[in-house]
A = this chain, B = another copy of it.
């Protein structure tokens, strides 16, 4: 039993039964040990989930650095959305702790490189990437809620039209719309206000 074995078991578990099924008890059962045996090799469950999400960030990859900075940001956002579309439960990690693992930092570094070539300072590039990242996290959170519960908890009859609109506006087209508006509002000059 080692950290590597625990993480491998966690990855297998996530792929088979979803990220939410990764718990101290399922992992222990899978490895044939007590839940407590894990705590000698990892600090807590969120450390395991963070390592898993980091691997997923690596696999979704990053856009071609030769792209125009606006295109690059948009494609980076779509790749992030791909991850959360497959593992919506990963979103919870970002609300529980800052995610500053290797692949997360690599994304920001890549943004600094690409935007730097278009006149963004390092800080401005991080700010710009952060906005896109933030928007994507928000969209995927709302999208996750809609996937899990297509019908609203409160069943309103008459003003169903607006309620329906609110639900139906979390679409791929709306993600694209918001992303374009966002990137349109960013400028190398705007950034250093």
**Is there an interface contact between B181 and A190, defined as CB atoms closer than 8 Å?**
yes
Number of copies: 2
- Nearest Cβ in chain B — how far from A12, in angstroms? 21
**Is there an interface contact between B96 and A145, defined as CB atoms closer than 8 Å?**
yes
**Is there an interface contact between B126 and A169, defined as CB atoms closer than 8 Å?**
yes
- Residue of A133, A153, A156, A162 with most partner-chain B CB within 10 A: A153
Which B residues lie within 8 Å of A128 (CB)?
A: 181
Report A73-104 residues with CB < 8 Å from chain B CB: 88, 91-101, 104
A33 within 8 A of B: no
Pick the interface stretch among A24-32, A61-69, A135-143: A135-143
**Is there an interface contact between A181 and B131, defined as CB atoms closer than 8 Å?**
yes
Which B residues lie within 8 Å of A135 (CB)?
A: 131, 134-135, 138, 178, 182
Which B residues lie within 8 Å of A99 (CB)?
A: 145
Cα distance A135–B180 in the bound complex, in angstroms = 13
Which B residues lie within 8 Å of A137 (CB)?
A: 137-138, 141-142
**Is there an interface contact between A169 and B127, defined as CB atoms closer than 8 Å?**
yes
- Nearest Cβ in chain B — how far from A119, in angstroms? 16
**Is there an interface contact between A149 and B97, defined as CB atoms closer than 8 Å?**
yes
Which B residues lie within 8 Å of A100 (CB)?
A: 152, 154, 156, 162-163, 166-167
**Is there an interface contact between A95 and B97, defined as CB atoms closer than 8 Å?**
no
Interface residues of A (CB under 8 A from B): 43-44, 46-47, 50, 88, 91-101, 104-105, 108-109, 123, 126-128, 130-131, 133-139, 141-142, 144-146, 148-149, 152-154, 156, 159, 162-163, 165-167, 169-170, 174, 177-178, 180-186, 190-191, 193
Seed contacts A94-B142, A98-B152, A100-B163; 8 additional CB < 8 Å A-B pairs: A100-B156, A108-B162, A131-B177, A141-B141, A177-B193, A182-B185, A184-B184, A185-B185
